[in-house]
Chains A and B, each alone.
Chain A
Amino acid sequence: MSETRAESAARQESGLFSKLVRSDLSRPTTLISGILLLVIAASATFAPLIAPTDPYDLATVSVLDGRLAPGEEMFDGTIAWLGTDGAGRDVLSAIIFGLRTSLTVAISSALIALIVGLAVGLTAAFYGGRIDAFLMRIVDIQLSFPAILVALVLLALLGKGVDKVIIALAIVQWALYARTVRAAAMVERRKEYFEAAICLELSNVRIIWKHLLPNSVSPLIVLATLQTAHSISIEATLSFLGVGVPITEPSLGSLISNGFDFILSGAYWITFFPGVMLLATVAAINVFGDQLRAMVNPRLSR
């Protein structure tokens, strides 16, 4: 074996990537979802540059522009392609900024959950025995409750705010990562290189950090992709219920919730378009993630 594990893992990764690119081009759904994801990520990142107006700038937002239908002209001459909401904010701009909040919450909570999950999962797999049984019992109990409910209760306890939602979503998700990492690490544990590392009497920290971690991390990539979609959805639901992100810093969910009040008066666009954006984002991530999973595990591809 001239190739080290890290190199072979890297080779696998690049293989995965080129496979992804090739199969992407052959399957229109994946191509579309990939492009859509890029566009979404770009517009969220460069929101202030792309959005026609700044929905947070109280100086330019005027109540006189309230509830304009899509395509109508606003007071200052800009055209509100997707209409305006009750306070006269341009819906399109609000969506672009809302996307930013939604993605920030989803991605940062996924990262926190990933790190905590990795630490717990690797600890459980490495030490085994009672520690493993105890940690996995907690994971089991946590996973037996639906995510939306746990998040709802946590936010009832923590209160509103972007940071609180991130914490709640991280707490909801860590167990799933922990279980997945543990399963992967348990397989690695039985391999020869691991035994060799134990025989060399390397320190525990080093074995976990240098050997167990790099080899157990790949199944998490797929999981993290799909979980991001899930947590965008949960965040939107929570904000809709009025326990998530406050209206001063709107996410897609709070925009939809904001439009709820205007539904009966026929101003559908305030709630319709943010929802379409939410659906497009979640669906694009799901389709992309499914493709990724099929590539990692070819048996599931059909």
Chain B
Amino acid sequence: MLAFVLRRVMQSVVVLFVMSLIVFSMINLVGDPVDMLVNPESLPEEIDRVRRDFGLDQPVHVQYWKFLMGALSGDLGNSFIFGRPALALMAERFPATLELATSALVISVTVGLPLGVYAGLRPDGWGTRIIMGGSVLGISIPTFWLGLMMIIVFSVVLGWLPVSGRGETSRFLGIESSAFTLDGLRHLVLPATNLALFKIAMVIRLARAGTVEVMALDFIRFARAKGLAPRRIVLAHLMPNILIPIVTVLGIEFGTLIAFATVTESIFAWPGLGKLVIDAIVNLDRPIVVAYLLFVVTLFLVLNLVVDIMYALLDPRVRLQGDET
């Protein structure tokens, strides 16, 4: 077991290293950040000075070596635009993204689970058709366009909710979030719902499939024969059995939520990580792009590592397979 974990950790480190190498060498092929940094009318000497100051006059491999040594000591360089450490900027923005992703997760379960279970219990009902049709639509509908439509309906036409930003935040139990003030909640509703939409459709499908599968099993039949109330069968016998796979999938999908937050944040001007990186891409702010990328790669590697280790703990066959290759 220890060998398995060690090997997977080593593999992840290699992937991380290769990724940093690829990204760093490729990003040097696109655009010259100096063009963005200086006034177009600057003298050539001025441009040269900026180039030297940012270390952009050195060969790529020297730049990479410097970057790598910095990264190992927790320094991912300074943002060209903000002139501050990239890591600190990201740490500042991360809570907003985390808040958005968590709210979306909560919404998708509270909305998706009951609908999915209902659809699974009444496979031929009219309600089920509507729910399943809606879930196909939910998977097909481009998230970003739906976000725009939500702005048109709820902000422009009805004027109920604000268009952009995070609103007022407050501290509760040491966590700063906009979920604790009314103004913050009003700002949070649209982006969180927008981000949750795709996941709602997914939870509905998972819950329905799980319900159909579990309801056909013997212990449910037994509970029915015993004369248990349908309500109790669903809550006490069905739920625990379908929740395990749903929670597992959602755990893995949390990373996707953070990734998709880039789109939602751009639409609603939510001051999170995603907005930061999109702006950085447009402005050729290399250190931020590289730092964000390494962050995301690490996040996904850790998520996958945890999932793999848990599977290996639960299922010995995975372990054996791992030993063969």
Q: Which of B's residues lie within 8 Å of A, judged by CB?
A: 11, 15, 23, 26-27, 29-31, 123, 136-137, 139-145, 148-149, 151-152, 156, 163, 255-256, 259-260, 262-263, 266-267, 278, 281-282, 289, 293, 296-297, 300-301, 304, 325
Contacts and interface: CB of A to CB of B under 8 A. Distances in A.
Nearest to B280: A156
Interface string A244-269: 00000000000010011001101010
Given A149-B296, A156-B289, A275 B149 contact: yes
A186 interface: no
A295 to B, nearest CB: 17
User: Per DSSP, are chain B's interface residues mostly helix, strand or loop, or mixed?
Assistant: helix
A264 B267 CA distance: 13
B136 A283 contact: yes
A282 B142 contact: yes
Contact of A271 (B26, B148, B163, B278): B148
Contacts of A266: 156
Given A152-B262, A157-B23, A237-B144, A144 B300 contact: yes
A278 interface: yes
Contacts of B260: 146, 148
- Which of B123, B143, B149 has the most C-beta atoms of chain A within 10 angstroms of its own C-beta? B149
A149 B258 CA distance: 10
Contact of B144 (A144, A152, A156, A240): A240
B15 A241 contact: no
Contacts of A157: 23, 26-27, 29-30
Contacts of B282: 242-243
B145 A241 contact: no
Interface of A: 133, 137, 141, 144-146, 148-149, 152-153, 155-159, 229, 233, 236-237, 240-243, 256, 259-260, 263-264, 266, 268, 271-272, 275, 278-279, 282-283, 286-287, 290, 302
Nearest to B281: A156
Contact of B148 (A141, A144, A158, A260): A260
Given A156-B289, A159-B31, A241-B266, A275 B300 contact: no
Given A149-B259, A272-B152, A279 B136 contact: no
B140 A153 contact: no
Nearest to B26: A157
Contacts of A159: 30-31
B248 to A, nearest CB: 15
A149 B156 CA distance: 30
B141 A241 contact: no
B318 to A, nearest CB: 13
Given A237-B263, A243-B281, A264-B163, A144 B304 contact: yes
Contact of B259 (A146, A286, A302): A146
B263 A148 contact: yes
Given A146-B255, A148-B260, A263 B30 contact: no
A195 B214 CA distance: 41
A259 B11 CA distance: 45
23 contacts: A141-B15, A145-B296, A145-B297, A146-B255, A146-B259, A149-B259, A149-B262, A155-B281, A157-B23, A159-B31, A240-B145, A240-B263, A240-B266, A256-B145, A260-B148, A263-B156, A264-B156, A264-B163, A268-B152, A271-B148, A275-B148, A279-B141, A283-B136
B142 A263 contact: no
